[in-house]
């Protein structure tokens, strides 16, 4: 038993709560399936969950004051390094325009009816260890690997439409088959997803994307009409012919690349999964066919980065995460089909990508491995070796001008101005090209004098006669 659950058990022995605390949901389900159990626990209480939260807050294992939701009869406590949600056994009634229920105390059997799936309604008593199946169907469905709703699926999904996304996630995470009528109900209720907050949709989606089954989950989201509700940018990728280097359309290629990323089962960050899935999202808007019949997607990486920013902003990702994803998408064509990288190109990648350089290489490899098998490009071992070699000689922090802006102003007597930035950038570019060492200030000063003599002519004013 996890220390958090042991703390809850000990704190309620010889109290009115003894024998009335039931672990429910994923922790019971995954234990019975022999799967790892997370450190987030749900406890349904035959009694007042808020009163229980106050009692647990005085436990030696409590790490913070409880968070109370009086309207719903729930509370969140932090015990021994785990989040424990306490819920009074209840029944719920929903308004059609909201997923926030009206609640009232009820029996364990009635509480089980409001759960999303029968396999998540199983109960384990914290004090006695008793396993209870209040619906009489949860254990059978668990053994048969069937995903079934306690009520008619249309009613279950209408009450809380997020359950439709959870159905797809659990189907593929657990390897279960949807019960008869389950997916049909999702297709019918898909428009109801509009009442769910972007944050809740985002969290469910990201859980799918980092799992090895992510491509299968994405196909279900598309087929059921759910993806159109929060990320309609994907549908135009279906059927886009990408030319001779591809055997898949843009949609299936994106899923194949995602599968290459998550297929090993190794941990994957949500930002990298998003970048791989979205790396070609701009192709639907950039496809052209040349006179020779060749298919091109000029600047699709830049268009895709802009589209990804709009989509992920809509889903309320943090600005930091959006910047990472869009940087990776915008940069994924920089290696082209080259297997040998020049030193200047390596320096620019090191400077521009920083901590995301390894993720970019992972993205590019996943993309390459999703190309036509007969057109497969080589792995990136030579590129990696070149980056390591160049990075050892000139690490990222040294890829700057030998002279600061203040030093340039002191040497040239220039005031703060774009001209100072131009000179500094010119020196930085020489460092990138390898014609100037990052710490060679003496030579940089000599070059500075030459650069001043090459000052570009001023741009004519818009209304000047020769500006037309």
Contact 35, 75 (CB under 8 A): no
Q: Name the least confident of 101-105, 318-322, 332-336.
A: 101-105
pTM: 0.87
Given pLDDT bands bounded at 50, 70 and 90, which one contains residue 194? very high
- Looking from the CA of 95 toward its CB, the CA atoms found within 13 Å total 5
Residues 167-180: tens digit of each pLDDT: 999 999 999 999 99
- Measured N-to-C along each axis, helices 357-368 and 343-353 cross at an angle, to the nearest 10 degrees, of 110
Domain segments of the chain as ranges: 3-143, 233-398, 405-453
pLDDT at 98: 55
Given pLDDT bands bounded at 50, 70 and 90, which one contains residue 104? low
Cα separation, 143 vs 83, in Å, equals 28
pLDDT at 59: 83
Which residues are registered as beta bridge partners of 132?
123
Can you count the helices (H) and strands (E) in the chain? Answer: 21, 13
Phi, psi of 152 (to 5 degrees): -55, 130
pLDDT at 463: 45
The CATH architecture of the domain made up of 3-143 is: 2-Layer Sandwich (3.30)
Return the CATH class of domain 233-398: mainly alpha
Residues 202-247: tens digit of each pLDDT: 999 999 999 999 999 999 999 999 999 999 999 999 999 887 677 8
Cα dihedral sign, 233-234-238-243: positive
Q: What is the mean pLDDT of residues 66-84?
A: 86
Cα separation, 402 vs 304, in Å, equals 35
The H or E element containing residue 178 is strand 177-178
């Amino acid at each position: 038993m996890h220390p958090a659950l042991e703390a809850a058990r000990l704190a309620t022995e010889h109290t009115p709560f003894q024998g009335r605390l039931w672990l429910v949901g994923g922790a019971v389900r995954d234990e019975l399936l022999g799967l790892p159990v997370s450190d987030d626990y749900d406890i349904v209480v035959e009694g007042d969950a808020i009163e229980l939260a106050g009692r647990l807050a005085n436990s030696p294992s409590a790490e913070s004051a409880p968070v109370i939701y009086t309207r719903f009869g729930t509370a969140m406590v932090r015990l021994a390094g785990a989040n424990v949600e306490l819920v009074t056994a209840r029944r719920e009634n929903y308004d059609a325009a909201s997923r926030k229920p009206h609640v009232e105390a009820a029996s364990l059997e009635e509480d089980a009816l409001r759960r999303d799936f029968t396999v998540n309604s199983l109960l384990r008593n914290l004090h006695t260890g008793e396993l209870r199946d209040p619906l009489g169907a949860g254990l059978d469905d668990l053994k048969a690997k069937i995903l079934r709703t306690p009520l008619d699926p249309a009613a279950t999904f209408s009450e809380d439409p997020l359950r439709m996304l959870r159905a797809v996630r659990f189907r593929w995470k657990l390897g279960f088959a949807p019960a008869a009528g389950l997916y049909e109900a999702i297709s019918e209720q898909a428009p109801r997803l509009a009442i769910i907050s972007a944050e809740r949709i985002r969290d469910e989606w990201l859980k799918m994307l980092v799992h090895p089954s992510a491509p299968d989950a994405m196909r279900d989201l598309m087929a059921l009409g759910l993806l159109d509700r929060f990320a309609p940018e994907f549908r135009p990728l279906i059927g886009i012919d990408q030319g001779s280097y591809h055997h898949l359309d843009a949609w299936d290629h994106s899923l194949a690349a995602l599968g290459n990323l998550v297929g090993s089962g190794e941990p994957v960050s949500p930002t990298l999964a998003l970048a791989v899935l979205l790396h070609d999202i701009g192709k639907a808007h950039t496809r052209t066919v040349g006179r020779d019949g060749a298919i091109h997607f000029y600047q699709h990486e830049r268009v895709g980065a802009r589209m990804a920013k709009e989509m992920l902003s809509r889903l309320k990702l943090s600005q930091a995460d959006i910047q990472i994803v869009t940087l990776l998408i915008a940069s994924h064509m920089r290696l082209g089909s080259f297997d040998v990288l020049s030193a200047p190109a390596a320096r620019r990648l090191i400077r521009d990508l920083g901590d995301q350089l390894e993720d970019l290489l992972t993205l590019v490899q996943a993309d390459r491995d999703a190309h036509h098998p007969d057109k497969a490009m080589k792995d990136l071992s030579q590129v990696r070796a070149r980056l390591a070699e160049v990075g050892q000689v000139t690490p990222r922090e040294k890829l700057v001008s030998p002279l600061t802006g203040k030093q340039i102003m002191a040497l040239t007597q220039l005031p703060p101005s774009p001209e100072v930035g131009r000179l500094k950038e010119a020196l930085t570019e020489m460092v990138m090209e390898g014609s100037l060492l990052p710490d060679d200030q003496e030579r940089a000063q000599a070059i500075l004098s030459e650069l001043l003599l090459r000052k570009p002519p001023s741009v004519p004013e818009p209304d000047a006669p020769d500006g037309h």
